[in-house]
Amino acid sequence: MSKAVLRIRLGRPDDARAVGVLVRRLTRRWIVPDQSREAGLALLSRQSAAVQRMRMAEGHRFHLAWLDDTLVGVATIRDDSHLTQLFVSTRYHGRGIARRLWLRAMADAVRRAGTRRFTLNASRCAVPAYRRLGFVATAEERLSPNGVLTTPMELRRDPAHRQRA
C-alpha cells in the first residue's frame, strides 16, 4: 500500500462543498465551545458551501491540502493580506500541514501583490498555533462586530524572508 502524498492546490467553486463540510466540522469541535450560542450559530451559518463559493467568486484565495481525494486542510486569504481561514482536520494535526498551507498562501500573496503585512483574527484555541507561525497579538481578545470572540494578530516576520516548512 503506497503512502498518500499531500498535495496543495488552489480551490475551485466545485470544492466549496468539501470546504464547507471540513470548516464547519472543525468549527463545531474547536471554536464554538468558546463562543456564545448565538455567535456559534452565526459563525457556522457563514461557513456553508454557498458562502465558501461566494467568497471564491469575490476573489478570496483558497489553498487546499489533499491526501488522495480527502480534503484535510484549507487556508483562505482575503485581499492578499488577511487570513480568514486556516483549518486542518483534527486527525492530521501535528504533521506540519497548517504551516505548509500558510507558507503556500503567504507566498502566493507576496507573488501576486507584494504583500508585506498579514493579519488575522484568531479564535482562542488557535492563538498558540498562529504564534508558532510568527503572528503576534495586536490587541486583547475581543468580541468582533458579529459577536465572535477573537484575538487580532499580525505577522511580525518579513514575509520576503523565507520561513522553513
What pLDDT digit, counting tens, does each position of 25-61 carry? 999 999 999 898 999 999 999 999 999 999 999 999 9
The reported pTM is: 0.90
Residues sharing a CB contact under 8 Å with residue 130, sequence separation 6 or more, in sequence order: 86, 120, 122, 153
Report the CATH number at residue 11.
3.40.630.30
Instruction: Confirm whether 160 is domain-assigned.
Output: no
Q: What is the pLDDT of residues 96-155, one digit of tens each?
A: 999 999 999 999 999 999 999 999 999 999 999 999 999 999 999 999 888 889 999 999
Does residue 26 fall inside a structural domain?
A: yes
**What's the chain's average pLDDT?**
92
Cα(first)–Cα(last) distance of the chain, in Å? 27
Residue 162 lies in a domain: no
Q: How do residues 55-104 score in pLDDT, each as one tens digit? A: 999 999 999 999 999 999 999 999 999 999 999 999 999 999 999 999 99
Whether residue 1 lies inside any domain: the answer is no
Residue 25: alpha-carbon gap to chain centroid: 14
Q: For residue 130, is it within any domain?
A: yes
Per the structure, the count of domains in the chain is 1
The parent domain of residue 71 ranges over 6-155
On whether residue 141 sits in a domain, the answer given is yes
Q: Is the pLDDT of residue 10 over 70?
A: yes
161 found inside a domain: no
Instruction: Write the CB contacts of 9 (distance below 8 Å, at least 6 apart in sequence).
Output: 63, 64, 66
